[in-house]
């Protein structure tokens, strides 16, 4: 069996474009992966095309070999473009391997630790502007079966927010907590926007609402700053979506600057790389909550990892996709039951991609910045 072709699909989906990778073999087996990078989709697709030149004619089952070659042969190693391209290809190779061996990917990784995956909802708040609107949407999301909610309550706040912005964030969290009750987990996203002092202050003001975690409280460039926040607050700190490969996590884990890491299998190097990162985290008793604001193929990838790794905590789901065409991307969409998803039992990723639906939603160029997206999400209904 040899790789015949590596192709990409770019499809418009809400505030971003999805980047899906399809690897086709000369035996007819096809594997899928996802390499969505908001605002950099065309660049990632070009990187996948460069990788295709190496991959065509190779054995798709030699996954570790191909990963090392794709990574090490690139003089400019690392970063979101190359690693996302590699990740999407790697997913597809694992999908092929599972189908070839008639096993789910998690079985090839060592078997299942669990078959039900605890989830949290992201994207449930679109269009909300006031605490009352956030509360209303939160209650509706719980009605859909979720038992954990993540959102960014900080509006347009920057490194040094005004007191009015800080009070607004507290009131937003208060309203959501009152709407959903004490048994629903609340996960606070900060998008790396606060200074150390303000991150510490806000954590203490939010602590009475018992957040599950406090994500990226300060900008990601300075791990010592993150460590200072983590040591000073009563809320577990989570981070990692903007780190790549096991080397990107080395200093974070050695400094013990966070107790929850969020590797993104569509950006960090893929399925096996995420398992290696999780194994490193296990030695520090750090939990893993894979980052996944991406599409359904990325979710399928995460579920295979979640089933296998011992230190898994909770899985992100972008439920905005459930109100758009993306729900039809898979012939059998994932169902949320009492806050959990069942791991697919089929071979490989256990999914079937609806290519005809994918083709109906062509790429649309978009600018992407945190400010633009926050503004847009507050305008969307």
| Residues 268 and 179 occupy one common structural domain | yes
Phi, psi of 123 (to 5 degrees): 80, 5
Please indicate, yes or no, whether residues 59 and 113 belong to a single structural domain of this protein: no
**What are the residues facing 114 on neighbouring strands?**
none
Check residue 373 and give its pLDDT. 57
Indicate the average pLDDT of the chain. 95
- CA angle (287, 293, 294) in 5-degree steps: 120
Which of 183, 95, 121 minimizes the C-alpha distance to 315?
A: 121
The answer to whether residues 225 and 295 belong to one domain is yes
Q: How far apart are CA 302 and CA 291, in angstroms?
A: 9
Report whether 278 contacts 260 (CB < 8 A): no
Question: One of 91, 198, 267, 291 is an active-site residue; which one?
Answer: 291
Point out the domain boundary residue: 81, 103, 125.
103
Tell me, what CATH number does 31's domain have?
3.30.390.10
Pick from 77-91, 165-179, 250-264, 367-381: least confident: 367-381
User: Do 28 and 133 reside in the same domain of the chain?
Assistant: no
Helix (H) or strand (E) holding 20: strand 16-25
Residue 357: inside a domain: no
Predicted local distance difference test score (pLDDT) of residue 146: 95
Any domain includes 354 = no
Average pLDDT estimate for 43-53 = 97
Same domain flag for 88 and 131: no
Could you tell me if 203 and 322 lie in one domain?
yes
Average pLDDT over residues 320-327: 82
Q: Is residue 88 classed exposed, middle or buried when 0-12, 13-18 and 19+ CB atoms within 10 A define those classes?
A: buried
Write down the pLDDT at residue 14. 83
Own/partner long-range contacts of 354-361 (Cβ < 8 Å, ≥24 apart): 354/328, 354/329, 354/330, 355/9, 357/325, 357/328, 357/329, 358/9, 358/11, 358/20, 358/329, 359/9, 360/325, 361/11, 361/12, 361/13, 361/325
pTM: 0.95
- Kindly report, residue by residue over 217-248, the tens digit of the pLDDT: 999 999 999 999 999 999 999 999 999 999 99
Asked whether residue 356 is assigned to any structural domain, the reply reads no
Q: What are 83-117's pLDDT values in tens digits?
A: 999 999 999 999 999 999 999 999 999 999 999 99
Residues 76 and 139 in one domain: no
Domain limits at 150?
Answer: 107-348+366-379
DSSP SS3 for 94: helix
Token pair for residue 264? 């993104």
Same domain, 7 and 152: no
126 and 7 within one domain? no
* Nearest-5° Cα angle at 90, 124 to 8: 70
For residue 44, the surrounding DSSP H or E stretch is helix 41-55
Residue at a domain's end among 68, 86, 103: 103
Whether 118 has a pLDDT exceeding 80, the answer reads: yes
- Model pLDDT, residue 378: 57
Task: Indicate if 27 and 90 belong to the same structural domain.
Answer: yes
- Give the domain-ending residue among 74, 103, 132: 103
126 shares a domain with 15:
no
What does the pLDDT read at residue 261?
98
Is the domain of 175 the same as that of 42? Answer: no
Q: What is the pLDDT of residues 343-378, one digit of tens each?
A: 999 999 999 999 999 999 999 987 666 665 555 555
| The pLDDT of residue 172 is above 60 | yes
Q: Does the annotation count 204 as an active-site position?
A: no
Query: Of 102, 191, 331, 361, which is the active-site residue?
Result: 191
How many folded domains does the chain comprise?
2
Q: Is residue 291 part of a domain?
A: yes
Q: Is 191 a catalytic residue?
A: yes
pLDDT for 381 equals: 45
């Amino acid at each position: 069996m040899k790789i015949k072709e590596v192709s990409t699909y770019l499809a418009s989906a809400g505030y971003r474009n999805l980047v899906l990778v399809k690897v086709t073999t000369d035996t007819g087996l096809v594997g899928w992966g996802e390499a969505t990078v908001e605002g950099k989709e065309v660049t990632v697709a070009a990187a996948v095309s460069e990788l295709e030149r190496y991959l065509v004619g190779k054995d798709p089952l030699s996954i570790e070999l191909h990963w090392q070659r794709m990574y090490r042969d690139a003089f400019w190693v690392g970063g979101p473009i190359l690693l996302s391209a590699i990740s999407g290809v790697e997913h597809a190779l694992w999908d092929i391997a599972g189908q070839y061996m008639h096993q789910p990917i998690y079985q090839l990784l060592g078997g299942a630790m669990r078959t039900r995956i605890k989830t949290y909802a992201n994207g449930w708040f679109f269009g909300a502007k006031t605490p009352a609107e956030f509360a209303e949407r939160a209650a509706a999301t719980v009605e859909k079966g979720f038992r954990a909610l993540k959102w960014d309550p900080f509006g347009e706040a920057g490194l040094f927010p005004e007191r009015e912005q800080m009070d607004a964030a507290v009131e937003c969290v208060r309203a959501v907590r009152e709407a959903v009750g004490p048994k629903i987990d609340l996960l606070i996203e900060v998008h790396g926007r606060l200074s150390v002092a303000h991150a510490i202050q806000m954590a203490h003001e939010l602590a009475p609402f018992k957040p599950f975690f406090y994500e990226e409280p300060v900008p990601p460039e300075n791990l010592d700053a993150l460590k200072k926040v983590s040591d000073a607050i009563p809320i577990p700190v989570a981070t990692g979506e903007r780190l790549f490969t096991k080397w990107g996590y080395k200093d974070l884990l050695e400094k013990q600057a966070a107790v929850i890491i969020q590797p993104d299998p569509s950006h960090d190097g893929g399925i096996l790389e995420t398992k290696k990162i999780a194994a490193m985290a296990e030695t520090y008793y750090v939990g893993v909550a894979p980052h996944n604001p991406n599409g359904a193929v990325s979710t399928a990838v995460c579920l295979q990892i979640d089933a296998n790794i011992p230190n898994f905590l909770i899985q992100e789901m972008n439920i905005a996709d459930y109100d758009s065409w993306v729900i039809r991307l898979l012939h059998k969409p994932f169902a949320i039951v009492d806050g959990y998803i069942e791991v697919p039992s089929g071979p490989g990723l256990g999914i079937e991609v609806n290519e005809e639906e994918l083709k109906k939603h062509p790429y649309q160029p978009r600018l992407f910045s945190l400010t633009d997206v926050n503004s847009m999400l507050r305008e969307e209904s």
